[in-house]
A and B are shown apart, each in its own frame.
Chain A
Amino acid sequence: MKNMISMATDRTFAQFLKQCSMPNDGTLLPEAMDYLQALHDRGSAQLHEQSFPTTRDEEWRFTDLKPLQDTTFAPSAKLKLSAAEIRALMLPETHESFMVFVNGQLDCAEISNPPAGLLLSNLGLTFVSGMLLNAPELPIHNYLAKQLGADERFTALNTAGFKDVAIVWVGENTIVDMPIHLLFVAIPGQTPTWSQPRCLIVAEAGSQLTVIEDYITVGDGVHFTNAVTEIWMAENAEVNHTRVQQESQMAFHIGKTAVSQARNSRYTCNTVSTGAKLSRHNLEIHQAEEQTETTLNGLTLIGDEQLADTHSTIAFTKAHGSSRQLHKCIVDDRARAVFNGKVLVPKAAQLTDAGQLSRTLLLSSKARVDTKPQLEIVADNVKCSHGATVSQLDAEEVFYLQSRGLDQTTAQKLLTYAFAAEVINQIPVVSLRDRLAQQVRMQTQD
């Protein structure tokens, strides 16, 4: 008897896949269309026979996607912001080095006097010039959707249907002085909509880049953002990456940051998540070669009924790698934070130096955090540490400030801000740092 068991693609994924379509702005060359079609097909195939995550999946134990599953989404429209709206969202440091994507598709971009070797582009512009497809020195095929973990369900869904790609390409030994701001704006519709921003950053050997990846919502309405960012770092490259997620409280946000680091490269990621009703950030670092450095600073600041989940993985593979990770959560009201920090140190990764610290401040008796270090260490000559603290505001610290004349509320706000500041102060772009500091002060004010 023939084995007739064949699982169909999960119903929810099938719904999403049905809505995936090729970009059709008419700017793409035929060979580009072929290439993209093949990518979309691959993403789609990876979802075949996959089930939709439930809390029975270890990776999704604390984050129930049922509300996402129970919502019917339609594709978001291709929309544009007004010049005034864009001006209001820009940072002084990046007003001449930004790209704005609305619902996953390019709205506008500005780049003044870029250093030779910097390419700031999107799919259309790239393929129109044919550069990335044809020039042998810019082989986009080797990078897009090629990171380890590309078959993870939501990453595959993005690959199956992204409409555009933000591309930041930094050539060999190119030092980019100005920070690059990639702003991903969601504009929801009358009924729930979804979009799939995609971002590719390639830092070639010896290059240096500071980049801000920024997610916000303009307008009201339920929406779902399924974002994927791939970062490739060649030998001795340095990338300072700040990822800010401040979507509206009606948003579902699932984001992936996949980073591959070659020898002697240095990657820093500062993440700040304050938005979305339900958010998940998968941060995956693959240290592919020797002596790579990874620094991860994370801040989650949530209240009301929000849920924010961060799952990070640092995979060491070779000797002399190091990592420093600090993840902080401030949880108020009935909100819930999740942190899972995986560190993989296989036999070949001798002399690894990995440190992880998770600290949570619970501001209400109903607030909750599930925090879990997950160290899998096989190598025997390594230094790996981890720690987790969960606390409320320290009554002694509040009293200390009161004894200097601050009233109780001011003291509590100041201490909450101070807790967040340790992460915010790491952000290298001053105006963004100030803006976030201001927002933290506002958010902790009630």
Chain B
Amino acid sequence: MINATGEVVLLVQNLTAEVDGTPILKGLNLEVKAGEIHAIMGPNGSGKSTFSKVLAGHPDYTITGGAVIFQGQNLLEMEPQERARSGIFLAFQYPLEIPGVSNIDFLRVAYNSKRKHAGLEELDAFDFDDLVRQKLDVVKMNPDFLSRGVNEGFSGGEKKRNEILQMALLEPKLAILDETDSGLDIDALKIVSGGVNQLATAKNATILITHYQRLLDYIEPDFVHVMEGGRIITTGPKELALELESRGYLWVREEEEERVKVQG
């Protein structure tokens, strides 16, 4: 839902970032309000994934300029875990496997670290078990997955469902889904996007990073942004995604170049 007067959850201003001395983000601007769903599309190498990792605080990226304000706080000064506890959630493109730590223990530690941050009492194993079983339904996950190692031997679809399960538990203010749809068959895609839709409310916000318009058939964005060369070069309504699907990205780039010329 477009929320013109709503609370600004995330404000990104002229953000620049590099990895190993190579600039990737080159002046990115974005405003996300509560209740909104934003899709960021763009060709490979445009900086989409970098942007999501920078928001989550990945240590490989160096911020060289600009600002990111999350709920009135300077996000860039926060450690990754502080960001997570304050309500940022990144669903990974490639969720990691951690054999030796059971999924349920991992989920409980994560959940409790957030509760502790909020000044709430931590849940014990029994109460947490009840809670997590309710949330399993969001992504139609088999309870057997709880006792297995984190993502250990999970299929691609199961890993992505596990990400959404974590999101359901952590109830983030801002969810960033980094190519959550890639590698999913249509059934898994429906389950995952069904989960995301259930979790999206008027109080939180979602950023979908994707290659494919297909995801947007299931999760309807309020805005579609096109990233190119480390910046958002155009923004439009959800129909823009369809146009990108049929015409590719090149025309957007040409229009942008045209616009820059006219301005110059």
A→B interface (CB under 8 Å): 394-397, 399-408, 410, 414-415, 417-422, 425
Contact = CB atoms under 8 A, between A and B. Distances in A.
Contacts, number: 77
Given A403-B57, A420-B100, 12 more contacts: A400-B92, A400-B95, A400-B98, A401-B106, A401-B110, A402-B80, A403-B84, A404-B84, A405-B81, A410-B113, A418-B99, A421-B99
Interface in B57-74: 57-60
Given A399-B58, A406-B113, A421 B101 contact: yes
B101 A403 contact: no
A417 B56 contact: no
Contacts of B16: none
13 contacts: A400-B95, A400-B98, A402-B84, A403-B89, A404-B84, A404-B106, A405-B84, A405-B117, A407-B113, A414-B109, A417-B100, A422-B99, A425-B100
Nearest to A402: B80
Contact of A404 (B59, B79, B99, B170): B170
Nearest to B111: A405
B85 interface: yes
A408 B114 CA distance: 15
A404 B59 CA distance: 15
A280 to B, nearest CB: 27
Interface string B91-118: 0100110111100001001100110010
Contacts of A402: 57, 79-81, 84
B90 interface: yes
A395 B109 contact: no
Nearest to A396: B96
Contacts of A397: 96, 98
Interface residues on B, range: 20 to 34
Nearest to B96: A400
B166 interface: yes
A68 B114 CA distance: 51
A422 B99 CA distance: 7
B96 A405 contact: no
A400 B90 CA distance: 9
Interface of B: 56-60, 79-81, 83-85, 89-90, 92, 95-96, 98-101, 106, 109-110, 113-114, 117, 149, 166, 170
Contacts of B99: 418, 421-422
8 nearest interchain CB pairs?
A: A418-B100, A421-B100, A405-B113, A402-B80, A404-B110, A405-B84, A418-B101, A400-B96
B85 A405 contact: yes
A420 B99 CA distance: 10
Contacts of B79: 402, 407-408
Contacts of B85: 405
A403 B56 contact: yes
B109 A410 contact: yes
A407 B95 contact: no
B52 to A, nearest CB: 10
A422 B97 CA distance: 13
Contact of A415 (B80, B98, B110): B98
A410 B170 CA distance: 18
B81 A417 contact: no
B53 to A, nearest CB: 9
Q: Which of A405, A422, A425 is the most central at the interface, judged by chain B CB atoms within 10 Å of its CB?
A: A405
A38 B114 CA distance: 69
A408 B92 contact: no
Contacts of B89: 403
B106 to A, nearest CB: 8
Contacts of A399: 56, 58-59, 80
Contacts of B81: 402-403, 405-408
Nearest to B83: A403
Contacts of A406: 81, 109-110, 113
A399 B94 CA distance: 13
B100 A395 contact: no
Contacts of B117: 405
Contacts of A415: 98, 101
Q: Which of B56, B85, B98 is the most central at the interface, judged by chain A CB atoms within 10 Å of its CB?
A: B98
A406 B166 CA distance: 13
Nearest to A411: B81
A394 B106 CA distance: 17
A25 B43 CA distance: 84
Contacts of A405: 81, 84-85, 110, 113-114, 117, 170
Contacts of A420: 100
B223 to A, nearest CB: 24
Contacts of B106: 401, 404, 414
A24 B109 CA distance: 57
A413 to B, nearest CB: 11
Contacts of A400: 92, 95-96, 98
Given A397-B96, A406-B109, A414 B80 contact: no
A402 to B, nearest CB: 4
A406 B109 CA distance: 7
B178 to A, nearest CB: 11
Contacts of B166: 404
Contacts of B56: 399, 403
A353 B160 CA distance: 36
Nearest to A400: B96
A400 B159 CA distance: 13
A410 B56 CA distance: 18
B30 to A, nearest CB: 20
Contacts of A422: 99-100
Q: Which of A397, A399, A422 is the most central at the interface, judged by chain B CB atoms within 10 Å of its CB?
A: A399
A293 B90 CA distance: 45
B98 A418 contact: yes
A407 B98 CA distance: 17
A395 B53 CA distance: 14
A395 B60 CA distance: 9
A301 B104 CA distance: 26
Contacts of A414: 98, 101, 106, 109
Q: Which of A399, A400, A404, A408 is the most central at the interface, judged by chain B CB atoms within 10 Å of its CB?
A: A404
